[in-house]
Amino acid sequence: MMRVDLNCDMGESFGAWTMGDDAALLDVVSSASIACGFHAGDLDVMLATVRAAKAKGVAIGAHPSFHDLQGFGRRRMALTAAEIEALVAYQTGALMGVAALAGHRVSHVKPHGALSNMACEDEAIAAAIARAIQRVDPALVFVVLPLTAMERAGTKAGLKLAREVYADRAYADDGTLVPRGQPGAVLHDAAEVAARVAAMVREQAITTVSGRKLAVAVDTVCVHGDTPGAVAIARAVRAGLGADGVTVRAFAG
C-alpha cells in the first residue's frame, strides 16, 4: 500500500494578526512546518501551534527563513554561509525548546520562502542549511525539493531526506517552482489540485508548465496554509489520495 505525508506550513499568525486556519488544517494534515519568528509567528503562536499539533497527533518541524517579517520571508537576502547556518540553527533550536515545553518533538526542518528558493539553486547555501541541521540534531529529517541543490546537499551531509512536492504551485522545466509573481504560479481550484496531487503520488513524477514529466520520489505533499481556500484544498487532496488507495501518514512516524 502506498503512503505519503501531507504537510502544511503554519503557525504564521503574529500577535493580534491571524494568518490561516491552523485548527482546521490540523484535522487534515499529518505534519506541520511551524514558523519560528523570522518570517512569521511569535513565541505564543509557536507554543499554541505545537500544543494543537500534539493534541491532534500531527508531527512538527521547524520552518526557518530569512529574518524578514515585512516580506514574509519571500525576499532574497545576501548572507554568508556562516550566517545561514546560524539562522537555521537558531530557529530550529527555538522550536525545539518550545516543543519540549509542550511535550512534543521536532522531527524535521523545512526551509521557507526565499531561503528555500535560493538553496534549491545554490550549492553553498544548501550545504550551509544541511550543516546547521546536522550539527543541531543529525536525526532531524531535511525536507527538500527533489532534483535541486538541497537534495544533493542533504544526501552529502548524510541526513535523512523527505522529498517534497507542492500541491498548489506550478513547476518550471528544471523542477524548481515557478516564481509567485508569474501568472499561474499558485493554483487555487481544489478539484484540480487534488487530481494533480493524486497523479504526482501515483506516477512518482511532477508535471511542469510545459507538460514535461520529471521522475521524483514523493515523500510529502505540501499545502500552503496562507493560500486562499487552503482548508478546502487540503481536504480535497486528502480525499483524492484516499480514493487512490494512498495512506496519509507522517514521514517521521
Mean pLDDT, residues 106-111 taken together: 98
pLDDT computed for residue 179 by the predictor: 86
What count of residues does the chain have? 253
Name the β-bridge partners of 221. 6, 165
Residue ranges of domains in the chain: 3-248
Please tell me the pTM assigned to this model: 0.94
Residues 6+ apart with CB under 8 A from 53: 26, 32, 34, 59, 60, 104
pLDDT computed for residue 175 by the predictor: 87
> Alpha carbon 252 to chain centroid distance?
14
Distance linking the first and last C-alpha atoms of the chain = 16
Domain 3-248 falls in which CATH fold?
TIM Barrel (3.20.20)
Distance (Å, rounded) from C-alpha 248 to C-alpha 23?
18
Q: What is the pLDDT of residues 12-22, one digit of tens each?
A: 999 888 998 99
> Alpha carbon 72 to chain centroid distance?
15
According to DSSP, the β-strands at 205-207 and 141-144 are unpaired
Among candidate residues 221, 159, 196, the one with its CA nearest the CA of residue 4: 221
Q: What is the pLDDT of residues 144-158, one digit of tens each?
A: 999 999 999 999 999
